[in-house]
Structure 1
Amino acid sequence: MKRVYEIGKRYIFHTYVKNDAERPALRESQKAYPVSTLIISFFIFSFVGWGWEVIIHLYLDHMFVNRGTMIGPWLPVYGCGGVLIIVLLRKWADRPGKLFSMILLLCGTIEYGTGLFLETVYHARWWDYSDSLINLQGRVCLEGLLLFGCGGLFIVYVAEPAIHRWVQRLSGNVRALLCISLLTIFAADFLYSMGNPNAGFGITM
């Protein structure tokens, strides 16, 4: 009887008491990030995405290719995807399976919609997955989505908390100056690129 009591006590402790002690930390990780963190995160993700695609072309084609429609070293589709993952999907951080599935859905929607928009406006394709085994009209493909899914998990569990801690160590004036400077340069690039989109190797008309 005493053994049954001890087993029951341990079960209650691990199921309720221990879990309750861990839940506040989980809720802490789901608090909304400041706007400054999201803005800086947008540019970090945009730059990392641009660098990732540049490296791919350096490896496959042995040449530097400025990816995307803009002049600067950023791909806003990656920045938007990363920030939306943080804002919309981080609430499922305690359910990795569901989080991964939602990241696939979100990133697939963003990539497909962006590709369709660019084709409609500029009558050109900045990427084409038609040669991939599983793809949807060449705008998204399964292997790409799986990479985005893994990248999204890395953002939620590793990258964004680290970025947030770094941003919060900066003074308020430095954060404001950094955000305003990046947004000003980006806006100028965006407005110019709307009428003069970057076009070159890898872009099909």
Structure 2
Amino acid sequence: MFELMVYFLLFIIYSFIGWLTEIICIMITAKRFSNRGFLIGPYCPIYGFSALIIITNLNKYYNDPLALFIFIVIVASIMEYLTSYLMENIFNARWWDYSNKPFNINGRICLSNALLFGIMGLILVYILNPFISHLLFKANETLIIYLGIIIFINFIFDVITSFNIISKIELTINEIRKDYTDEINNIVKSILLQKSFLTKRLIKAFPNFKSINKTIKNKINN
């Protein structure tokens, strides 16, 4: 139980670091604050999952930084691509689009991001994880277990609440249209921004959000 909670807390910590990194990047490039992530809380699970995969499966390349870097890039790219693909197929909406960036694959991943993730992964393996893991494994077991349970309950509540919000954006038709236009996307955003605070936060967090179906207006207004 203790070890399980340690890894869960590592997941939460790295999800938070990923969320913080996203915010800093947006503040630098767009000169604005944006609460990034699908969830309400300050974490981006894709970073947490990727970090766990890296620290549990790629340690054998610890003494070969180049190989480690390459595999981190591969893992991060697969995770980002799968997340984009699954979110689009579940909710019929695309939450980010790298089509305007060079060396992209279907607008879901791009080379510049992949290389950045590779660098972040090296920092994780060589600097962050040894320090953070040591602290958690040396901490009081009872404290870690109770802290993990409390955070887990809060995390599950966050997931349920966030997916309930996202479900309002879901587009349910038999044939997914790929020829959506900027006009449709702008209409969708304007409708969503009239909804609850949490819905507004989600849309503002993903300004490149693109819907695939015009009928979203009816879905949201129901």
Q: Secondary structure at 1:200's aligned position in 2?
A: helix
Mapped pair 1:93 → 2:93: no
Match of 1:204 among 204, 210, 217: 210
User: Equivalent pairs: percent with the same residue?
Assistant: 33
Q: Which residue of 1 aligns with 2:42?
A: 73
Distance 2:64 2:5 in 1: 27
Q: Which residue of 2 aligns with 1:139?
A: 108
Q: Which residue of 1 aligns with 2:95?
A: 126
Structure 1 counterpart of 2:203, which letter? G
Distance 1:57 1:124 in 2: 21
Q: Following TM superposition, where does structure 1 have runs of at least 4 consecutive aligned residues deviating by more than 3 angstroms? A: none
Distance 1:35 1:88 in 2: 16
Structure 2 counterpart of 1:146, which letter? L
Structure 1 counterpart of 2:97, which letter? D
Q: Which residue of 2 aligns with 1:39?
A: 8
TM (norm. structure 1) is: 0.79
8 A Cα contact 1:68 1:126, kept in partner: no
Gaps of 5+ in 2: 167-198, 212-222
Match of 1:103 among 72, 89, 99: 72
Name the larger-Rg structure: 1
Q: Secondary structure at 1:128's aligned position in 2?
A: coil
Distance 2:79 2:56 in 1: 15
Structure 2 counterpart of 1:75, which letter? C
Question: Can you list the C-alpha shifts for 1:167-199, whole angstroms capped at 9, x where unaligned?
Answer: 133211111111111111111111121221353
TM (norm. structure 2) is: 0.73
Q: What count of residue pairs does the alignment treat as equivalent?
A: 173
Q: How does 1:1-205 map to 2 (within 5 A)?
A: 34-197=3-166, 199-201=202-204, 202=207, 203-205=209-211
Structure 2 counterpart of 1:204, which letter? K
